[in-house]
């Protein structure tokens, strides 16, 4: 959820950000993503069909990636987008807000608890807080890093199959990771606890950032609202059977 931008303020530009036309093409590609298709289908089942102009690329004047605005639809901030995965995530996140708006007749975005609940669900269910993305944002430290730093000397490690094409692509997009750091991440990610750790801290952090931006919610009110609805909203996975 996001407020409309101030047309008079200068646009916030991310290095490598896309032009509106490029972002529109990326949005069209995102519509083929399985999770996007799933959410659109369930919005239609709930009586809120997504029209052709519901998701739009715009040049934003604030430091956000996108937003859902009641009665308007979803905006994706082209100047904040660099790769297709980022567009996919914005669209999925905002479609969850749209689904919440559709299914709850009394949802009030000025109510801090209502806003916090939808942000909790969007953060948990969209994949925003997958530990891969937290690592790339720099919010997670690689435990046991020292155990792997010598592995790059091994021919077996260099040829290991878990150096996947996907991660080599990610590495090229985020040049501050070298080949061996990518490999170390893949090894470290095998820990069963990583998904829970990333979601718990990441969702809370991102919920607070969003709700504090709500002009009706102070920082204290945002925190109280988040804690009050956390258990119910984090465990509410509709329209998914469980968190993806």
Catalytic residues: 94
Q: Where are the domains of the chain?
A: 1-103, 144-190
Q: Note down pLDDT in tens along the chain; length 244 residues.
A: 644 333 344 545 566 789 999 999 999 999 999 999 999 999 999 999 888 899 999 999 888 899 999 989 999 999 999 999 999 999 999 999 999 999 988 899 999 999 999 999 999 999 888 766 656 555 544 444 333 334 333 434 444 444 445 445 555 554 544 555 555 555 544 444 444 454 678 899 999 999 999 999 999 999 999 999 999 999 999 999 998 8
Could you tell me which residues come within 8 angstroms of residue 39 by beta carbon, excluding any fewer than 6 positions away? 92, 95, 96, 98, 99, 239
Q: pTM for the full model? A: 0.74
State how far Cα 199 lies from the chain centre. Answer: 11
Sheet of strand 55-58: strand arrangement: 55-58, 73-77, 66-69
Q: Does domain 1-103 have CATH number 3.30.2010?
A: yes
Instruction: Characterize the bridge pairing of strands 55-58 and 66-69.
Output: unpaired
Are 227 and 204 contacting, i.e. CB atoms less than 8 angstroms apart? Answer: no
Please list, residue by residue across 67-92, b when 16 or more beta carbons sit within 10 angstroms of its beta carbon and e when fewer do. Answer: bbbeeebbbbbbbbbeeebbbbbbbb
């Amino acid at each position: 959820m996001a407020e409309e931008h101030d047309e008079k303020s200068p646009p916030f530009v991310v290095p490598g950000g896309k032009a509106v036309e490029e972002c529109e093409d990326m949005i069209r590609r995102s519509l083929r993503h399985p999770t996007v298709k799933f959410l659109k289908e369930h919005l239609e089942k709930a009586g809120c069909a997504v029209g052709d102009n519901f998701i739009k690329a715009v040049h934003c004047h604030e430091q956000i990636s996108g937003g859902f605005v009641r009665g308007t639809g979803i905006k994706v901030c082209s100047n904040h987008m660099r790769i297709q995965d980022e567009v996919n995530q914005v669209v999925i996140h905002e479609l969850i807000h749209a689904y919440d708006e559709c299914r709850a007749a009394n949802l009030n975005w000025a109510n801090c608890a209502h806003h916090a609940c939808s942000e909790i669900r969007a953060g948990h269910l969209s994949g925003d807080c997958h530990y891969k993305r937290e690592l790339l944002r720099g919010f997670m430290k690689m435990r046991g890093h020292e155990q792997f730093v010598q592995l790059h000397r091994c021919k077996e490690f260099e040829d290991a199959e878990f150096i996947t094409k996907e991660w080599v692509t990610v590495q090229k997009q985020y040049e501050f990771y070298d080949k061996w750091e990518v490999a170390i991440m893949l090894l470290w990610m095998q820990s069963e606890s990583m998904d829970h750790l990333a979601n718990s801290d990441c969702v809370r952090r991102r919920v607070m950032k969003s709700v504090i931006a709500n002009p009706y919610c102070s920082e204290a009110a945002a925190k109280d609202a988040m804690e009050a609805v956390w258990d119910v909203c984090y465990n509410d996975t509709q329209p998914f059977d469980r968190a993806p």
